[in-house]
Amino acid sequence: MDTYHVVLYLHLLALFIGIGAASILLVCIFQLRSAQTLADAIPWGRVAGKISRAFPVAVLGLFATGAYMTSDLWTWSTGWIYVSIVGLAVVAVQGPLIAERTAHKLGVALRANGPGPLGEHARRMTRHPGLWVAEFTNVAVVLGVVWNMTQKPGTASAVVTLVIAYAVGAAAALWFSRAPADAPVSAIEPTG
């Protein structure tokens, strides 16, 4: 067994931690979106709050092991590597700056709602783009980085891969965060 293969294993382990946590978080936001009452929403918000602690571990693990493998096998000027580092930085920034801040606002809205059925503001916050776009684009960018790792494209192709991944993630997030068809619609009286 050599050091490179141990580090590669740890790199994949960090990736699996991140993908596993992201999968659980996806389940949480889908459950929050479909919650009808505060009692329905609270458990999923708690799980999301706890699972988010795995992301810094995954990001640091990916960066540290990736840095070792880059120094050992490639160079820092390899195009797909620095594009992947930028992708990892996007993931690392979007989580705490966008998703966690929006999740905090959702928590405030749920507490303000109080027990019983969720009001319009709380329901709207469960579909907030800050939660959905950050989560879906982070997953998509990570999958794009994995594509770049396996294909080792030139710089331009690596950039295009991450741009496409981000766009697909954002489009999917906006699609899934829409209000469900069975959501109550406010009646508007005609003026006339």
Position 187 pLDDT exceeds 70: no
Average pLDDT over residues 149-177: 95
**Please, what is the end-to-end C-alpha distance for the chain in angstroms?**
81
Average pLDDT over residues 105-119: 92
Position 181 pLDDT exceeds 80: no
* Tens-digit pLDDT profile for residues 70-97: 887 777 788 899 899 999 999 999 999 9
Instruction: Report the sign of the C-alpha dihedral through residues 76, 135, 102, 179, in that order.
Output: positive
CA nearest neighbour of 29 among 170, 124, 117, 126: 126
pLDDT at res. 182: 54
Give pTM, 2 decimals: 0.86
Rg (CA), the chain: 20
Q: How many CA atoms lie within 13 A of 144 on its CB side?
A: 28
3-state DSSP assignment of residue 117: strand
CA angle 173, 179, 184 (to 5 degrees): 170
